[in-house]
Structure 1
């Protein structure tokens, strides 16, 4: 049996299974929201402003007041926000540095309240004297409704007087950064101790009408990090089953989607309670609640948290919170994907083209694996040369399987042939293939990254399917260099059609990944010709048994 081709079939099956398993786990269909909850949602589209967190009772809904809030618009070089003065919530957020689609003039909208869909970032003060403890959210005052960053920093203040407590809620923006510092400056002007408790959470519709494909997934869901677990997904189906309740020092909570993330990072030195719930029937909420603090008469106190909304930039996220960079989810092979991504980024910094960087990293990987590749092809050639002796043993011991096994092993030992030698390099390449798959799918740096000619987005499939077809041709040429040794007609047909099957399979893969595999095949062809030429000089036949 031709071990390489048989193993290719096994490899394809295993790769397909792992990709499907990972996709189902993260992006597969989730339980449908019951009809009763859908009906409740129709009456709760604008109720997010009435959601708050009580230190004793937990999250609950209150009556929406009659007062009308205003929207404060904020513009920086990388963010455009809308802040609702009702609660000081972020109800709209656009990323002007990222196009909605390739070539589009429209920026990517991350957070919004539009057409029945709601995705907002809320924060407030509860406990006994918090303005969000009573029957409604606080209505803040503002000096202006439009703010634009013109220097290095921008401070957007909101003001509130609440039962002797003077509150200034400040949003502090920095040029070039997607993280925003949110502070509460509290002054107790009363004659009694005031007690407040900060909270921050993210709220988003569970169903937004978008769909995922197996090869270009659109992940939407929550995640959190704690002192005991750096990164843990907690998707909407988890919220529908159980409310999250974890005590931790520091920690963070986030909402994820493909290339972008929003997150609240509370004070790293405080003890926080991470929580989740389903609000209004069809809105998932994940948040963090801090410790209740007392403010003595005349005392001034500052409470703060960091809000992040933007691309999944691993370096920046790692600086903000422990484990937040893992929201760039490379799956179970993250320990391979992260070094590969670092190397890919390092190379791209020199060549300035992600496609060229992919070609170079392929050359490096194949070069490092050349010793194993040499063992593979030499082993395959030796196995083909041993075929007559193997057939002779099979005929001699066809009625005695117990003797055939030791006889075969003795033949392999005598001829210094490892029957599994042709499989080892492919076993090593499979996890690299999977790791690179997640690098190309998850890394925002490759989003809309052009290569050349018709390849304008390495994170999307080849629009003309040229790369998958070239890959199939390269695979066919590899087959011609290693003629079939199988005699079963069904297996022969399967081997013959395998390049076509792989080409079709790769039609939906990111073009960057197909580029990697095509270049890998071309390098393998060159290595195969070089190795076989050397073996022919030694008298070892490489084409025929």
Structure 2
């Protein structure tokens, strides 16, 4: 029994170390931008994307964020049922985006502000045309193109299936219409360039699109509720890869791929550029004046005189709804980051949503999925508790052997093994089931932490947000009480005073620890403990009837 407890503590410590290591990697402090990194900018502070870096046909450099912003800039306001967007006529960039279906805080009636341009912090989506004749060429005297908008306010009406927001510009014989296409209930926006070459010469352009975010600042994070605020991308060969601001500051990303995508994440929400999935694109990243940039460069387009062309890409900004993201690009749904146990978490999330579809309450769904999981794992639980009970029954015989061979440790080991063989007891039998259950425990942890569906989801009574800690600390206290009851049902056999005190105070420590955890996660653990208590009583009662278990042992 002592060895089982020791192994359990070691296993928990090891898992805690892995969680801490991953947390520090993803959410630790960002390094300061070095002088060599700032040298990526030219004298005007513009971000350089050269042809040599991308290995494409010769193209000009794209302008840096905010380059050429003038007092003539206007903002085009667009409203749909799920998006509130502001588009700058300077470059046609998305400089503000709110999500009216998601409150900033519970019952605040304030839309979640996802993208914004404000003093000291930027999070915007830029896109444009570079190349020999691209208007976003940094050699253009006007800087970024100043588009013309026929209207400054657009709204998706009831029953309207599509809203087109057009911007117009002419440059070196190119007629350019940059338009944004919105649809009801959709967080993805189609961004298209309709080009016409009215000159008598070939025109060469290349589209780019990237996300820019200030590295310092942003939303708060904590160890108990981690918020990964950084970049990620996907390629044909690597479906999902985090690329944090620390990674950006160390090296520039430059990856050719068929299709692909580039994104910025912040916990429950994601902003992403999804270029043409049938085209050869180039993913890139940069650091610009304390701001991280990640995006995609499309293929070079040549327009003959009188020729028309259509270049299109998709922009997504909204909640991490896995089904919607999976339809846009391969691997984009993995931004709902379940970690290395994603192959367990995804089926559990599917089951959770299936149950919720029937009960229409996420708290009840958590209780029911806990019952299902504990039911499926019951055979392992039975093996675990039976092994623990048998080991406890052997305690007098083990103590007798220890007293007999206290001065001969070489003989004690074989004698103990012979006792286990004779009594048909495996000293590790109670540990293996615990270790097998631990991946499911961790997988469910990430399901409850990462799923936007639980954000602000009410349960009952005082629990009105399953993604937030229990405001009255009732669930953590109940969890500690259930853990204490389990300890009483399984008396400690350790003799070391320090270990006994440690085990006695574990329920209190966990109760305090869980104060900062999401209430949905604490609800799961509480229900899991209650079911374990019921299973333990049932298993021990059956063993007592067979004469295999004694609670006084």
Q: TM-score range by the shorter chain?
A: over 0.9
**Among candidates 202, 208, 225, match of residue 217 of structure 2:** 208
Q: Is the 8 A contact 1:5 1:495 kept in 2?
A: no
Aligned length: 538
User: 1:544 matched to which residue of 2?
Assistant: 552
1:1-31 Cα offsets, whole Å, 9 max, x none, are 4455444433442342232222212112221
Q: Is the 8 A contact 2:260 2:275 kept in 1?
A: yes
Q: Where do residues 5-404 of structure 1 align in structure 2 (5 Å cutoff)?
A: 5-33=5-33, 53=49, 55=51, 56=59, 58-59=61-62, 61=64, 64=68, 66=70, 68-133=72-137, 134-135=140-141, 136-150=143-157, 151-208=160-217, 210-279=219-288, 281-404=289-412
Q: Is the 8 A contact 2:62 2:130 kept in 1?
A: no
Q: Is the 8 A contact 2:63 2:144 kept in 1?
A: no
Return the alpha-carbon distance in structure 2 between the equivalents of residues 65 and 439 of structure 1: 43
Return the alpha-carbon distance in structure 2 between the equivalents of residues 253 and 528 of structure 1: 49
Return the alpha-carbon distance in structure 1 between the equivalents of residues 161 and 49 of structure 2: 34
1:385-424 Cα offsets, whole Å, 9 max, x none, are 1112222222333333333323222221221111111112
How much does 1:78 deviate?
0.4
How much does 1:59 deviate?
4.7
Q: Is the 8 A contact 2:189 2:316 kept in 1?
A: yes
User: 1:419 matched to which residue of 2?
Assistant: 427
**Which deviates more, 476-485 or 29-38?**
29-38
Return the alpha-carbon distance in structure 2 between the equivalents of residues 5 and 511 of structure 1: 28
Residues 75/259 of structure 1: CA separation in 2 closer, same or farther (3 Å cut)? same
Return the alpha-carbon distance in structure 2 between the equivalents of residues 477 and 73 of structure 1: 59
SS in 1 for 2:115: strand
1:227-269 Cα offsets, whole Å, 9 max, x none, are 1211111111111111111111110000100110100000111
Residues 106/213 of structure 1: CA separation in 2 closer, same or farther (3 Å cut)? same
Q: Is the 8 A contact 2:60 2:130 kept in 1?
A: no
**Among candidates 430, 451, 455, match of residue 463 of structure 2:** 455
1:429-469 Cα offsets, whole Å, 9 max, x none, are 22222211111111100001111111111111111111111
**Which deviates more, 2-11 or 480-489?**
2-11
SS in 2 for 1:497: helix
Q: Is the 8 A contact 1:121 1:202 kept in 2?
A: yes
SS in 1 for 2:126: strand
1:173-209 Cα offsets, whole Å, 9 max, x none, are 1110000010101111111111100100011111125
Q: Is the 8 A contact 2:83 2:99 kept in 1?
A: yes
Return the alpha-carbon distance in structure 1 between the equivalents of residues 34 and 225 of structure 2: 28
Q: Is the 8 A contact 1:330 1:442 kept in 2?
A: yes
* Counterpart check, 1:433 vs 2:437: no
Q: Is the 8 A contact 1:180 1:307 kept in 2?
A: yes
Return the alpha-carbon distance in structure 2 between the equivalents of residues 194 and 179 of structure 1: 30
Residues 346/25 of structure 1: CA separation in 2 closer, same or farther (3 Å cut)? same
Q: Is the 8 A contact 1:239 1:277 kept in 2?
A: yes
How much does 1:352 deviate?
0.5
**Which deviates more, 335-344 or 316-325?**
335-344
How much does 1:103 deviate?
1.0
SS in 1 for 2:146: coil
Return the alpha-carbon distance in structure 1 between the equivalents of residues 67 and 494 of structure 2: 75
Return the alpha-carbon distance in structure 1 between the equivalents of residues 488 and 70 of structure 2: 77
SS in 2 for 1:348: helix
1:21-52 Cα offsets, whole Å, 9 max, x none, are 222121122213569999x99xx9xx99x657
How much does 1:69 deviate?
1.4
SS in 2 for 1:432: helix
**Among candidates 508, 517, 521, match of residue 516 of structure 2:** 508
1:332-351 Cα offsets, whole Å, 9 max, x none, are 21111111111111110110
Q: Is the 8 A contact 2:336 2:451 kept in 1?
A: yes
1:147-179 Cα offsets, whole Å, 9 max, x none, are 111101101111111111111111111110000
Q: Is the 8 A contact 1:341 1:439 kept in 2?
A: yes
Q: Is the 8 A contact 1:54 1:127 kept in 2?
A: no
What are the ranges of 5 or more consecutive residues in structure 1 without an aligned counterpart? none
**Which deviates more, 440-449 or 389-398?**
389-398
Q: TM-score, with normalisation over the residues of structure 1?
A: 0.94
Residues 385/89 of structure 1: CA separation in 2 closer, same or farther (3 Å cut)? same
**Which deviates more, 112-121 or 50-59?**
50-59
Residues 228/179 of structure 1: CA separation in 2 closer, same or farther (3 Å cut)? same
Residues 242/58 of structure 1: CA separation in 2 closer, same or farther (3 Å cut)? farther
What are the ranges of 5 or more consecutive residues in structure 2 without an aligned counterpart? 52-58
Q: Is the 8 A contact 2:466 2:519 kept in 1?
A: yes
